[in-house]
Chains A and B, each alone.
Chain A
Amino acid sequence: MALDRWIALVILMISLVYGYTAFFTMDDGLPPFMKFNAIWPSTFPKGLSVLAILCALIILVSPGKDTDGPKVGDIDYRRLLDYKIGQAAALLGMMVLYALLLRPAGFLISTVGFLVISSMILGERKLHILIPIAMVAAGVVWYLVQGVLGIYLRPLPLFLGNGV
């Protein structure tokens, strides 16, 4: 089964759960006075779930042309292992790590760490250029976000206080 059908199957499952919630469980908590309304919070989702289930089923059962290979310049998932899948996974891991560390480690340390390690994952070895660039970038972005946009970003690790 091709990937697009697997995805259609997953979306079908999601819409079934969504539809079940909309049709059977959602209205239980509805206050009695709202039940006189022509429209309930579940009305629109009910319609959507039916549409989604229909579309997903059509993709699943339609004969479908066996795709004649990927388009030029696109990635062929059938030979995914020929690509730099390891690097991509490592970078995604770095993003998760960044999300988890942003508050406790502070913006400056986590950003410099993220930029430097991600570049190294991609094969960069010139640390004497990389680290200064990452530090300048982190400083400039912190200044822009905190100073110009006025959105609070904790610059330093938790144990060093709240920063500005």
Chain B
Amino acid sequence: MLDGILIGLSTAFSLSNLLMVIGGCLIGTFIGMLPGLGPMSIISIMIPVAISIGDPSAALILLAGVYYGAIFGGSTSSILINAPGVASTVATSFDGYPLARQGKAGKALTVAAISSFCGGSIGAVLLMIFAPALASVALLFHSAEYFALMVVGLSAIAAFAGTGQVVKALLMTVLGLIMATVGEGALFNMPRFTMGIMDLQSGFGFITLAMAMFALPEALYLVLDPSRSKTEGGSSEIKDLRITKAEAKSIAPVIGRQSIQGFLIGVLPGAGATIASFLGYAVERNIAPKEEQDQFGKGSVKGLAAPESANNAACTGSFVPLLTLGIPGSGTTAILLGALIALNVSPGPRLMVDEPQIFWAVIISMYVGNLILLILNLPLIPYIAKVLAVPRNYLIPFIFFFTLMGAYIGQNNATELLILVGLGVCATLLRFADYPLAPLLIGFILGSMLEDNFSRSMQIYDGFGFLLERPMTIGLLGFAVLLVLLPAYRARRARLRQAGVADGD
């Protein structure tokens, strides 16, 4: 492990990689601050750039920097103008915006930055402890278990989708898997489901799909509803970034608790930063003393520190299943996984053994990224915040233009742009109807791996025998079924109870 850390240090601290982290954090903060653009859109826009860098460690370091920067930028816009760019920073605005209204925007930003820093760093330490252990267990897995494990991951994402959403999320996942079967797979050497269209021969482009699922609907929403890009109402005056000793003392335990809790929630597939931040906020409010409880929602520093440390720790936690099992638990890590595959790296338990420099460099660069956000970005915030004043008439065409460019660079093909627009319109309709889009992308990215592992086990056992001969496989698959059925059962019971048909259990 020490060797790995040393390799990671030397990779992460090379000049070019340091520049990647700094650049990534700055770009991420910059774009993440724009209301309505979340980390997923930003990362999907940045992927073509990262892929063309060619070096997987550098690319992943850049994308991780962008991810952190975007989350930080999102918190900034939540605090300053009460316009959270992403769901995971909604809880930040509960107390951050009131603080800014009281003229304490600088203080709020500092608390947010310190909490994010601690959350991210504690998360990175936990990642260093957990990931190698999990990876060594995962090395025992065969393709049959992998297949089962991916099914568990996909079911968990659906199961955590929220009440009434489970079937929708499941349908989206399956649709993503179906889209992954289009084109010529490596396994069979024959085109499938291309409907005779030449451009579908190589399947749907992953960047195109990522853009169409996230960046394009987001931008269309900005066009449809001008109030989403509102920029007035906040105080642009940011001064006095200092916090007092008493405040630091009161938020320290909050940060400690929420970093660990957030990390653990982040490790679960499908739960992620949003749930971590809301849960962190709720927990801290409940355990706070009575007089402080009343302060929550009116500008409590504790109420700001809790969701901020939790969501950053959760983001770090979501790297655990990605780096150790190769299974993304969230839309963002799914996009990162797609980028890694495009760079010829297959994440999974072998990653630590085969390419330790990638694994450790990413973890080390998480520290560096967090540090940079704290010491470099925070003082720059008053200037970066000027980006909030960019008029939407300029902003929106550029977002569209960058999605177009991303799809073009990804596939080098003008037809791809038409596919992008078509899929983007479909995605927007799906969003209107409240279908979650992240499961579709995760299904799409995992699709080919899922089928590969499934086919391999079928071939080795000459049929479905692997289900019976490998107890762990059948156990995992049973668990997956349970995960999906449980919310449905509970929803049904709740409905019946509401109707007065059944009571208790």
Binding site for B on A (CB under 8 A): 2-4, 6-8, 11, 15, 18, 21, 26, 29, 37-39, 41, 43-45, 48-49, 51-52, 55-56, 58-59, 62, 64-65, 67, 73, 75, 77, 80, 83-85, 87-88, 91-92, 94-96, 98-100, 102-103, 111, 114-115, 118-119, 122-124, 130, 133, 137, 141, 145, 149-153
The answer to whether A83 and B425 touch across the interface, beta carbons within 8 angstroms, is no
CB-defined contacts of A123 to chain B, threshold 8 Å:
393
Give the nearest-CB partner of A19 in chain B: B178
Select which of A8, A38, A102, A118 is within 8 A of B414 by beta carbon: A102
A95→B421 CA distance, assembly (Å): 7
Other than the known A3-B433, A84-B226, A115-B401, what 19 A-B pairs have Cβ atoms closer than 8 Å?
A: A7-B430, A8-B171, A21-B193, A38-B459, A38-B462, A39-B455, A41-B188, A41-B190, A48-B178, A52-B178, A59-B167, A83-B224, A96-B418, A100-B414, A100-B418, A114-B401, A115-B397, A122-B396, A122-B397
CB-defined contacts of A56 to chain B, threshold 8 Å:
171
A129→B459 CA distance, assembly (Å): 64
Select which of A3, A44, A58, A95 is within 8 A of B167 by beta carbon: A58
CB-defined contacts of A64 to chain B, threshold 8 Å:
164
The answer to whether A91 and B400 touch across the interface, beta carbons within 8 angstroms, is yes
Ranked nearest first, the 10 interchain pairs of A and B with the lowest CB-CB distance are A99-B417, A118-B397, A55-B171, A124-B393, A4-B433, A77-B432, A83-B224, A39-B458, A41-B188, A3-B433
A to B CB contacts below 8 Å, 18 in the list? A3-B433, A11-B171, A39-B454, A43-B458, A45-B178, A48-B178, A52-B178, A75-B432, A87-B224, A95-B404, A96-B421, A99-B404, A99-B418, A99-B420, A118-B396, A118-B400, A124-B393, A153-B408
Chain B residues 275 to 291 lying within 8 A of chain A, measured CB to CB, are none
CB-defined contacts of A145 to chain B, threshold 8 Å:
405, 409
Binding site for A on B (CB under 8 A): 48-49, 52, 164, 167-168, 170-171, 174-175, 177-178, 181, 185, 187-188, 190, 192-193, 220-221, 223-226, 228, 391-394, 396-398, 400-401, 404-405, 408-409, 412, 414-415, 417-418, 420-421, 424-425, 429-430, 432-435, 451, 454-455, 458-459, 461-463
Give the nearest-CB partner of B396 in chain A: A122
In the complex where A45-B192, A95-B417, A96-B421 touch, is A122 in contact with B223 (Cβ < 8 A)?
yes
Give the nearest-CB partner of B52 in chain A: A149
A77→B228 CA distance, assembly (Å): 16
Select which of A7, A48, A65, A102 is within 8 A of B433 by beta carbon: A7
The answer to whether A149 and B409 touch across the interface, beta carbons within 8 angstroms, is yes
Question: Shortest CB–CB separation between residue B440 and chain A, in angstroms?
Answer: 11
The answer to whether A67 and B434 touch across the interface, beta carbons within 8 angstroms, is yes
The answer to whether A11 and B409 touch across the interface, beta carbons within 8 angstroms, is no
A56→B173 CA distance, assembly (Å): 12
Main secondary structure of the interface of A (DSSP, over half): helix
A56→B412 CA distance, assembly (Å): 35
The answer to whether A85 and B224 touch across the interface, beta carbons within 8 angstroms, is yes
In the complex where A38-B458, A92-B425 touch, is A4 in contact with B397 (Cβ < 8 A)?
no
CB-defined contacts of B49 to chain A, threshold 8 Å:
149
A62→B163 CA distance, assembly (Å): 14
Select which of B181, B392, B414 is within 8 A of A99 by beta carbon: B414
CB-defined contacts of B164 to chain A, threshold 8 Å:
64-65
A15→B228 CA distance, assembly (Å): 35
The answer to whether A88 and B220 touch across the interface, beta carbons within 8 angstroms, is yes
The answer to whether B418 and A26 touch across the interface, beta carbons within 8 angstroms, is no
A113→B401 CA distance, assembly (Å): 11
The answer to whether B417 and A41 touch across the interface, beta carbons within 8 angstroms, is no
CB-defined contacts of B228 to chain A, threshold 8 Å:
73
A87→B396 CA distance, assembly (Å): 11
The answer to whether A75 and B224 touch across the interface, beta carbons within 8 angstroms, is yes
A129→B49 CA distance, assembly (Å): 28
CB-defined contacts of A137 to chain B, threshold 8 Å:
398, 401
A32→B192 CA distance, assembly (Å): 18
CB-defined contacts of B226 to chain A, threshold 8 Å:
84
CB-defined contacts of A37 to chain B, threshold 8 Å:
459
In the complex where A122-B223, A141-B405 touch, is A45 in contact with B193 (Cβ < 8 A)?
yes
CB-defined contacts of A80 to chain B, threshold 8 Å:
224, 432
In the complex where A59-B168, A133-B394, A151-B409 touch, is A52 in contact with B190 (Cβ < 8 A)?
no
CB-defined contacts of B393 to chain A, threshold 8 Å:
119, 122-124
A64→B168 CA distance, assembly (Å): 12
A32→B226 CA distance, assembly (Å): 60
A2→B461 CA distance, assembly (Å): 46
The answer to whether A4 and B168 touch across the interface, beta carbons within 8 angstroms, is yes
Question: Shortest CB–CB separation between residue A16 and chain B, in angstroms?
Answer: 12
Give the nearest-CB partner of B415 in chain A: A99
CB-defined contacts of A119 to chain B, threshold 8 Å:
393-394, 397
In the complex where A7-B435, A11-B175, A149-B49 touch, is A75 in contact with B225 (Cβ < 8 A)?
yes
The answer to whether B223 and A84 touch across the interface, beta carbons within 8 angstroms, is yes
The answer to whether B408 and A102 touch across the interface, beta carbons within 8 angstroms, is yes
Question: Shortest CB–CB separation between residue B461 and chain A, in angstroms?
Answer: 8
Most chain A CB atoms below 10 A, which of B52, B178, B185, B190: B178
A29→B193 CA distance, assembly (Å): 13
The answer to whether B417 and A2 touch across the interface, beta carbons within 8 angstroms, is no
Select which of B52, B192, B398 is within 8 A of A151 by beta carbon: B52
CB-defined contacts of B455 to chain A, threshold 8 Å:
39, 43-44
Give the nearest-CB partner of A117 in chain B: B397
Question: Shortest CB–CB separation between residue B231 and chain A, in angstroms?
Answer: 15
